[in-house]
A and B are shown apart, each in its own frame.
Chain A
Amino acid sequence: MVQAVQRYVGGRVLRKEDSRLLTGRGRYVDDLALAGMVWMAVVRSPYAHARIKAVDVAPARDMPGVVAALSGDDLASEWAGPLPCVWPVTEDIKMPQHWPVAKDKVRYMGDAVAVVVATSRALACDAAEAVQVEYEPLPAVTDVEAAMAEDAPLVHEDLGTNKSFTWSHGGVGDVEGTFAKAPVVVKERYWHPRLIPNAMEPRGVLVQPGLSQGDFTMWSATQIPHVAKVTLAMVTGISEAKLRVVAPEVGGGFGSKLDIYAEEALCLALARRLQRPVKWIEERSENYLATIHGRGVLQDMELAATEDGKLLAIRAKLIADMGAYFQLITPGIPMLGAWLYGGCYKADAYWFEYTGVFTNQTPTDAYRGAGRPEATYAIERAMDALARRVGKDPAEVRRMNFIPPFSEPTALVTGLQADSGDYEATLDRALELAGYDELRKEQKARLDRKDAKLLGIGISTYIENCGWAPSSLLGAIRYAGGGWDSASVRVLPTGKVEVFTGTSPHGQGHETTWSQIVADGLGIPFDDIEVFHGDTAVSPLGFDTYGSRSLAVGGVALKMATDKVVDKARKLAAHELEVAEVDLDYESGRFSVKGAPKQARSIPELAFTAWQAHNLPPGLDPNLEASATFDPPNFTFPSGAHICAVEVDTETGKVDFLKYVAVDDCGTVINPMIVDGQVQGGIAQGIAEAMYEEAIYDENGILLTSSMMNYLVPSAVEIPVATLDRTVTPSSTNSMGVKGIGEAGTIAAPPAVLNAVADALSPLGVTDLQMPVSPQRVWHAIKNATGRNGGPA
C-alpha cells in the first residue's frame, strides 16, 4: 500500500482562524447578546479573612432596573453540590466545601458574598455597590510556612488545620543512604512566586434558559466545555442531558480557564431562577482576584553527587500554596511535576513529596506548565549550583549526567518510562547556535576589565511529561477524569468534510492543524475541511485542551478516525470496482486498481455513493463517517535545551538579554509555524515569570499588584527574539510520533534566565537569587554578597 502523500502535514500552512480574528469578526462571549438578557455582578470581599455578620441586599434590590439581589444564604437552595475539585490527591486529604457564594466567612480578598442582577451592565455595577455587608475582620495568613504554625489563623476551622495533605511519590532507591554517603550534597531553596495568568480575554458567561424544554445553553470563556458540562450538572442539579456548553472564540487561557468557576454556576442558577438569559463578564480587577493564580510553591531541593559532578540522588520537598479553596485540580498541580525533578539525568535514587497548605489568598491551580516549570526550575538551578560546587562548566555537568539517546520507552530515575529522547543533541545544537565558547570568552574579558556590566550565560535542559495520559494511570493517582480524547470525521456527499473534535482550542490553531491531518489523510483540499470544536452539542465527548495534550491525544484520535474513513472507503471502492481490497492502491484520496490505474474512485465520489447507499457491499453502513477514541498508553516527553546570555548592570541591577536560543524536541511536527509560535510565546511567559511577574499580597492578605499597572505583563520591548531550532525524536507513545509543545517554552525559560543572572553574579559571591529577578532584587543580592552598593567585581 502506498503511503498518503503529505502535502500539508509538516508544512508551514497559514492559519484558517486568522482572517475572522483580524477583522473583528471573531465572537467571544462578551460579543454575544440575547433578547431579554440581564447582567450579573458579583459583590466581593475587600477582606482576606472575615466573618460575615450580615448581608443586606435590600438597598440593591430596591434600585430601579434591578431584577435580583441575593446573598450566599439566599442562593443555598440552588446547589446540588459544591464547586468541584476532581483531584483529591490522597485518601486523607482535608477537603473544604466550596460554595459559589460564601455564607459564613470570606476566606480571600475577592471571595463572593452576594450577587445582583440588573437590566444593564451599569445598573448591575451600581447595585453591587449598594449591597451592605457587615464583616468582622479576622487575622489572615498568607505565608505557607506561617500557615502550618500551631497558632496560625485557620482558613477552614472545620478542618482543624491549614495543612490539607502530604503526597509522596514513594521514592526510588536508597535515598537516605545515598545522601549520607555522597561526597557532594547541594541544598537549595527556591520560592516560586504566585502568578496571575492574565489571558487577554477576561472570563465571561452567558446562559440562555430554554423555556420550553427546561434546557440551558451556556457560553463560557473556558478551555473545558466538556468537563464543565459534567461538573456543572452536578453543582446545579440540572440534568446533564439538558445542559449544552459552548466555548465560542476564547481569548487565551494558559490554564486559568481550565477550571469550573462560581460565576458559571451562578449564571446557570440565576437563569433557571429568573428564566431569562443572564450574562456576566469579568472585570480585569476581578480577574486578578477571582480567577485562579498559578505557582506559589516553596521548594527544598537537594542533590547528592560525586566530586566529579556525577548525580547520585535527588530529593525534593515542596510546600504548595493552595489558596483559600480547592478549584478544579488545585491539589494535584505539583504532582504534574512529581516525576520530573530528576530532569533528563541519570541517578540512582529519588524522593519527591509535597504538602498542600491553605492560605487566605486566591486559589491556585494550573498555569501554563503547571508543576513542570517548578520541577524544571528546581533541577536546572540545582544542576548549576552543582556545577559551581564541583568547579565545572554547567554544560559539561549536564552532558556527563544525560540519559543516552533512546527511541523506545526507557526508564527515568523517577520511575516513568520516557518515550524517546536525545538530550545531548539538543544541548549541542543550542550551544552551537548560542556561540557558547565565544560567550564564555566575552564573559571573562568583562570580568578582567572590571566592567560594570557583567555577562551571564544560563542553560536549561528540560524534559517534561505531557499528553496526560493513560486513563488507568490517572485513576491510580486519584484524578477523577480520564485521559482519552475522541474525534469524528464526516465526508459529506459533496466531498466537503466536517471534523468534530473533543479538544477545545483557544489560540492553538486546531482548525488549521486538524485540517492538515485530515487533508493529507483523505486527499481533500485544506479549505474544504471545517473543524467543529468547543460545543458539547456537536462535538464528541472529550477532555478538552490543556497540558499540551490536544495533538498528542485528540490529534491522534483524529488521525485514527481519518484512517477509519479511508478503510471504509476502501471497502466501498473495492465493491464498486469489483476487485479485492488488497488489489487497490491508495494515494492522495484516490483508490486505483493495481495494474489498471485508470480504474479508480476518489474519496468524494465514494462519499456520494456511500450517501446514496444504492449499492453498498453487504454489512457496510451508509456514509463515509467514522469516529475514534484514543487513550494513550503513556505520556509524551518533549525535551529541549534553552540557553540565554544576559548582561547585568551591577550598578542598577537591570538585566538585559543579549541572546536567547531554544532548541526543542516535540517529536513529529505538523505545522512548524504554529510550533514556533507556541515556543516563542511560551518563552515570553517564561521570561515574564523569571523577571517581571509576581502577585504580591500584604500581611493582611490584600493584593497589592492589583492591575496591569503594577503586575508587570511584558510588552514587545521586554521580550527578546529567540533563535529557534528543533531536533526530532518521534514519540513511541503514538502512531504519529507527536509530543506536545504548548508549555515547553514556559517550562524551559525561567531556569535559563535565573541561571544566566546567577552565572553573571557568582564572581561577586552571589548565591541566593529568587524570581522574579527584578533590578531591586539583583541589587540586593549584590549588596548582600559584597557589602557594597553594586558595581563591578
Chain B
Amino acid sequence: MTSVTMQPEGVAPARPTVVAGFTVNAASVRLTLDPRESLLDVLRERLGLSGTKKGCDQGQCGACTVHLDGRRVVSCLTPAVQVDGQAVVTIEGVVAPDGTLHPLQQAFIDHDALQCGYCTPGQVMSGLACIAEGHTTSDDEIREYMSGNLCRCGAYVGIVAAIREVADRAEA
C-alpha cells in the first residue's frame, strides 16, 4: 500500500476573517467568518440548521431560499459576512414553538405538494414570501413568482394549490 502523508491538523494559515453578528430565527449569533463562507454553509455547518438545502450552490434552483430582513433570497449566493446586522429566518423558524405546523406547511401536506422533500424547505420559504408580497392573485401569478424554485419531482400543481389556499384564507 502506498504510504499516506499525515499532516498535523488545525494549523491552517492565517486567513482573512470578519466578525459578523446577526439573528437566526430570532436568536442572536456572533461568528468569526471566512468571507468565502456562504450564508447557506454557515447555517448548515456552523449553526446546525441543516433544514435549508443545497441543490445547486449557484443560485439556480432555490432550494436554499431563506428570508433576510423579510426578503426571500438564495443563501448560497449570500456571503455570510454580508448578513451582519440582519435578521435571517430559515425553515426551522417557521414551525410554531409548540411544534404546530404553519398553515402553509399543513397546506403542502393537504395538497401533496412534495415527494422527495429536498426542494421543500425552499419552496415553503419562497411560498411564504410570495404570499406576503401579494403575488397570489391568480395561479399564473403564483407560478410566475415561484419560478425561482425548481422541483424535480414535479409537484408544482400541489405547491401552487397550497400557496393559493393559504393566500385565499389570509384574504378572507
Interface of A toward B, CB cutoff 8 Å: 14-15, 17-19, 21-28, 30-31, 33, 61-68, 70, 74, 77, 119, 121-123, 198-202, 249-252, 254, 273-274, 281, 283-285, 506-509, 673-674, 676-677, 680-685, 707-709, 713-717, 719, 721-722
Contact = CB atoms under 8 A, between A and B. Distances in A.
Interface in B78-115: 90-92, 94-95, 101, 105, 108-110, 112, 114-115
B115 A677 contact: yes
A49 B61 CA distance: 31
B101 A251 contact: no
B55 interface: yes
A681 B5 contact: no
A273 B112 contact: no
Contacts of A21: 114, 117, 120
B148 to A, nearest CB: 8
B51 interface: yes
B61 A64 contact: no
Nearest to A204: B54
Given A201-B118, A284-B58, A716 B159 contact: yes
A200 B90 CA distance: 19
B153 A715 contact: no
A251 B117 contact: yes
A507 B113 CA distance: 11
A23 B56 contact: no
A24 B118 contact: no
A22 B155 CA distance: 14
Nearest to B6: A67
A274 to B, nearest CB: 7
Contacts of B45: 33, 121
Size class of the contact patch on chain B: 35 or more
A680 B12 CA distance: 50
B146 A716 contact: yes
21 contacts: A18-B108, A21-B117, A22-B121, A24-B51, A26-B117, A63-B7, A65-B10, A121-B41, A200-B153, A250-B116, A251-B119, A252-B116, A252-B152, A283-B57, A284-B56, A506-B116, A681-B153, A682-B154, A684-B156, A715-B146, A715-B149
Contact of A716 (B56, B91, B115, B147): B147
A22 B109 contact: yes
Contacts of B121: 22, 24
Contacts of B146: 715-716
Contacts, number: 197
Among A202, A281, A283, A507, max chain B CB count under 10 A is at A507
A31 B115 CA distance: 18
A252 B108 contact: no
Nearest to A680: B157
Among B5, B9, B116, max chain A CB count under 10 A is at B116
B50 interface: yes
Contacts of A65: 7, 9-12
B36 A685 contact: no
Given A24-B92, A31-B50, A684-B154, A64 B13 contact: yes
B109 A18 contact: yes
Contact of A713 (B11, B142, B152, B159): B152
Nearest to A707: B58
A715 B147 contact: yes
A119 B153 contact: no
B38 to A, nearest CB: 11
Given A64-B12, A708-B56, A713 B116 contact: no
